[in-house]
Every structure is written in C-alpha cells, then in structure tokens.
A and B are shown apart, each in its own frame.
Chain A
Amino acid sequence: MKKERIAFSKFKYDILLLGVLLAAGTFIFLFALFNGQGGTYVRVKVDGKITAEYSLKENRTVTLNGKNGINVLVIENGEAYISEADCPDKLCVRQGKINMNGQSVICLPHKTVIEITGEKQSDKSDIDIIVN
C-alpha cells in the first residue's frame, strides 16, 4: 500500500502533463467535430488561392491543375473525393471522401486543398474565380 503511494507521487507531474495534453487533444477533436456539419460547397485552393468553388449537391468530375501536377476531383452524391492524381504518394486519393464542413483533402506536392464550406467565398467578396 505504502509502496504504491510512493510510486504514484513519483509520476505526479507526468500524470498532470499527460492529463492536460489529453484534455487539449479531446477539446480539439470535439471542436473539429462540432464545427463540421452541413457542408454545401466544395472549395478548391491552389497555393493558398481559391481557384474554384462547386456545389456539393451537383455531381461532376473536374481535373484540377495544381502547382506541379493534376488531381481529379469527383463530386458524387453529396460527397467529394480525389479519384486520381499524378503525385508519387497518392495520399490525397487515400484520404477518402469528405462531406462535412471544415473537412479537407490535401495534396502537399501540388499545394492543392479541397475543402468543404458552408458558404461561397465569391458571395462575400470579389475574388477571381477560375472554373475549369
């Protein structure tokens, strides 16, 4: 009994630190979860600039010209995903389908981001939109 108490107090600060880290992680997870609902638009960003926005409700297939290559974006039944890419790791293809607000598929080599949003950026400002 006494031995256990000594062992516990030796790790007091470790347990405190891990508790704080776990709580922070859970908070971020829940925040991401509750922020992600009812996406209506698919926004495409290349190198930080919005290049296109599509409705999530209409099915379509688009070829995106990224910085160093292409990604094929498919919007189907309210979900968006990358079906093909010419990058070496194909991580963007394997990231799967997204449909919730704030979710995204990211292709680092092509600096391309596909994200789901609630409203169109073009409704709010006069950013140039290039639709392929």
Chain B
Amino acid sequence: MNKKNKINVKKISVYGMITALAVVLSWLEAQIPPFFPVPGMKIGLTNIIVIIALYKMGSGSAMAVNVLRIVLVSFLFGGPSALLYSLSGGMLSTLVMILLKKTGRLKEISVSIAGGIFHNVGQILIAVLVMNTTSILWYLAVLWFTGAASGALIGLLGYMLVKRLPDRLFG
C-alpha cells in the first residue's frame, strides 16, 4: 500500500515536470521569429521532450505528455484554431514515432525524422479540411523536407539526452 503510493507520487511528479518542460519549450519556440515565410515551419523543440518520454517512460506517456502540453499551450498562448492544428500534427507524429519505435529496429534519429515529417503532414491534413482546398500541396512538398531536417536535429539532441539521463529519474 505504502509502496504503491510512493510510486504514484513519483509518477505524478515526473509527469508534471516533463509536461512543464514541454510547455516552457513551446513558449520558447514561439518567441523565435519565423525565419522563412512558410507557416508551420518550426524547429519543434518540444519534440525533445516527446522523445525522452517515449524512450524513458513508454508510448502511452509520450502521447499523454504531448496532448497535455498542446492543450495547455493552446489555452495559455494560442487560440482554438491553433489547438486544432497542433493536436492533429502532434498526435499524428507521436503515433508514427510510437509505431516506428515499436519495430525495435530503428535509431532514435530516424524515428524523430519520421515524427518531424508527420507532424507537418498532420497539420496540412487539418488545413485541407478546414480551408477546403487541395492547393496546399506545395506546402506539403516544402514542409516534408523541412520537417525531416528539424526532425534530424531534434532526434540527435533527443538521442543524446536519452542516453545521458539516468533511468532512475523516471522511476
């Protein structure tokens, strides 16, 4: 009984800390002015947290932390339309990363690259539905490659952190 409680307390603290970190990184990223005139082109700093959660805490935790982060950030800084775009992109990319990680044959960087690409694919799918236009194909072509590039960068950072962070931190 006592032991179970202890585990739960630790779990709650770790989830809270990780989610808070993700929210802070989201905020930090929002402060970076857009370099290129393409909406949706981002570094995706929060994906570092998702990768850490995925590899240290498991699939369910990664999804939970990302969804929580998106909802919190949307209420704090964004609007309802931002929530829709972020949710579709975030959930699709997390799902793809979970599935790829489950194959057990891929490196963190490859998983992250696929995640970066599918984050953009998810956002564009929603844009197609919301805007009722298919002429967005140009963006998909551009964002496919920028997503891969930022995914590679974040994957490398995530891999380094996953390797260095001790497992006992996460219970």
Contacts and interface: CB of A to CB of B under 8 A. Distances in A.
Contacts of B117: 21, 25
Contact of B136 (A17, A21, A106, A111): A106
B110 interface: yes
Contact of A102 (B100, B107, B109, B137): B137
Contacts of A24: 144
A12 B148 CA distance: 19
Contacts of B133: 45, 48, 104, 113, 115
A45 B131 CA distance: 8
Contact of A28 (B34, B131, B132, B144): B144
Give the contact-size bracket for chain B.
Answer: 20 to 34
Interface residues of A, number: 35
A96 interface: yes
Interface string B25-63: 000000000100111000000000000000000000000
B138 A25 contact: no
Contacts of B141: 25, 28-29, 31-33
B114 A104 contact: no
A40 B25 CA distance: 44
Interface of B: 34, 37-39, 81, 100, 103, 105-107, 109-110, 113-114, 117, 127, 130-133, 135-141, 144-145, 148
